[in-house]
Amino acid sequence: MMSKSNKSKYFLNNPHKRDLLDLRDEVHKALSDEEFIQEKSIAEDEIIEIKEKNKDAKLKKVFIQGLNYVDAKSTVERIWKIDLEKRIRGIENDRKTTECAILVLQKYDSSYRLNILLIELKSSIDNEELPNIEEKFSCAMSRVYMLLVLNNHLNPKQGFHEKEIYIDFKGILFYRTFSARKKLEENNDSQLLEIIKNDNKSGILTCETILNKEDKIKIKCSCHPGIDSETEIRIDLKDLL
């Protein structure tokens, strides 16, 4: 029965009585223990490693460095890596997702910006594969939206109470080679194809997510034709933001 103060409390009875607000912190810890979500140090020498699990891939590793990025307007305060391909017991994953998401929280004078970088690694791609990659960005956005519901930034202990936090998605596609088949290209309305054909290989992808049938995500494509299975790509965080 609701109290006169209109402040209800909810408890989980299985297996032990728990306040649901505490349950969120327990889920955070469990996801961290499973190495699904990991907070990264922003020390000068720290890096984020992203691996392609396909053993036959030519493009296998990307390292993001310079995590302690500071510019005239902002400072990177916290960084998390989410392994979107990892299977969690009871949480199904059809594997139509990018390799990972990197969440970068930047502090400005009067607000914060949470940059959500969806990272996809491909060795060789062609026109036929582009719709599948677009779907990966779409599914990854929806999955991160649901994870944001678990975010505990409203917890006073986190220090973000009554702060403005703006959220930006960006998709980063690292690839080795792209083969455009003329016959397909003439009849292909792929947005990603148009982005790859741009001189700066960047643009806006419109896709359907759990929140919006025409959601928007900024896409940046990064081509590395000289990469082989033994070569590592190293890139500064500032070049992805």
**What gap in Å lies between CA 133 and CA 193, rounded to an integer?**
11
Q: Give the model's pLDDT for residue 53.
A: 80
- For residue 7, the tally of other CB atoms under 10 A from its CB is 7
**What gap in Å lies between CA 85 and CA 98, rounded to an integer?**
7
Q: Give the model's pLDDT for residue 3.
A: 44
Task: At 184, give phi and psi (nearest 5°).
Answer: -70, -40
CB-based contact 102:119 (threshold 8 Å): yes
User: Over the stretch 48-106, which tens digit does the pLDDT of each residue have?
Assistant: 999 888 878 888 899 999 999 999 999 999 999 999 888 877 665 666 899 999 999 99
Identify residue 5 by its one-letter amino acid code.
S
DSSP 8-state symbol, 116: E
Tell me the mean pLDDT in the region 99-123: 94
Question: For the CA atoms of the chain, what is the radius of gyration?
Answer: 20
- For residue 85, the tally of other CB atoms under 10 A from its CB is 15
Tokens of 125: 């791609």
Opening angle at CA 23, ends 18 and 26, nearest 5: 120
Opening angle at CA 170, ends 52 and 80, nearest 5: 65
pLDDT over 80 at 180, yes or no: no
Reference 237, options 138, 117, 127, 137; nearest CA is 117
Q: Give the model's pLDDT for residue 33.
A: 85
Across the chain, mean pLDDT equals 83
Tokens of 42: 């922003």
Tokens of 224: 């590395």
pLDDT over 50 at 232, yes or no: yes
Q: Percent of the chain having pLDDT more than 90?
A: 48
Tell me, rounded to whole angstroms, the distance of Cα 73 from its chain centroid: 23
The whole-model pTM stands at: 0.85
Higher pLDDT: 190 or 106? It is 106
For tokens 């940059």, what's the residue? Answer: 115
CB-based contact 221:196 (threshold 8 Å): yes
